[in-house]
């Protein structure tokens, strides 16, 4: 399996990313559920949250995706930097459909979840740089995945 395939599989098999944003007051990080399509990452958030406000004024972000390891030699994960856009119209609906396919339990979660989802904003994080970390190959083993320019 190529490093690109490993990174894509890792993105598909995990569900939470830590998104780092910045504003004039400083830096901020938030853990968010996501669904990915290739290397694009879809997430939702209430528009009033600090990270959602931050990406409006500064769409450049960084993020990590990893598990909670107790042995550093087993650490694997994703580090990336990219830009976030808020989705509207057809792009928003496609992201919602993809997200619901990734998290099918949401469709049976009841009206409170449906109401909450109707109030949130939807976003797409498009990485410009992405690295796959795999310490099982050696301490600090990190390989850059070359991404197509959009």
pLDDT at 56: 94
d(CA 18, CA 28): 10
Half-sphere exposure (CA, 13 Å, Cβ side) for 146?
1
Structural domain boundaries in the chain: 3-145
What's the CA angle centered on 99, arms 9 and 127, to 5 degrees?
Answer: 55
Looking at residue 150, what is its pLDDT?
A: 59
pLDDT at 72: 80
Rounded to whole angstroms, how far apart are CA atoms 72 and 80? 20
pLDDT in 10s for each residue of the chain, 150 residues: 899 999 999 999 999 999 999 999 999 999 999 999 999 999 999 999 999 999 999 999 999 999 888 888 888 999 999 999 999 999 999 998 898 888 887 777 666 777 777 789 999 999 999 999 988 877 878 889 989 775
Token pair recorded at residue 28: 């901020």
User: Domain 3-145 adopts which CATH fold?
Assistant: Pnp Oxidase; Chain A (2.30.110)
């Amino acid at each position: 399996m190529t490093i690109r395939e490993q990174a894509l599989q890792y993105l598909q098999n995990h569900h939470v990313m830590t998104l780092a944003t910045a504003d004039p007051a400083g830096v901020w990080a938030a853990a968010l559920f996501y669904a990915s399509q290739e290397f694009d990452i879809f997430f939702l958030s209430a528009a009033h949250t600090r990270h959602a406000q931050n990406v409006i004024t500064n769409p450049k972000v960084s993020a990590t995706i990893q598990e909670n390891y107790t042995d550093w030699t087993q650490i694997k994960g994703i580090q990336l930097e990219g830009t976030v856009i808020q989705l509207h119209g057809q792009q928003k609906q496609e992201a919602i459909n993809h997200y619901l396919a990734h998290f099918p339990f949401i469709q049976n979660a009841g009206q409170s979840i449906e109401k909450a989802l109707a109030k949130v904003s939807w976003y797409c994080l498009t990485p410009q740089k992405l690295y796959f970390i795999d310490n099982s190959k050696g301490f600090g083993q990190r390989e850059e995945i070359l991404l197509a320019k959009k």
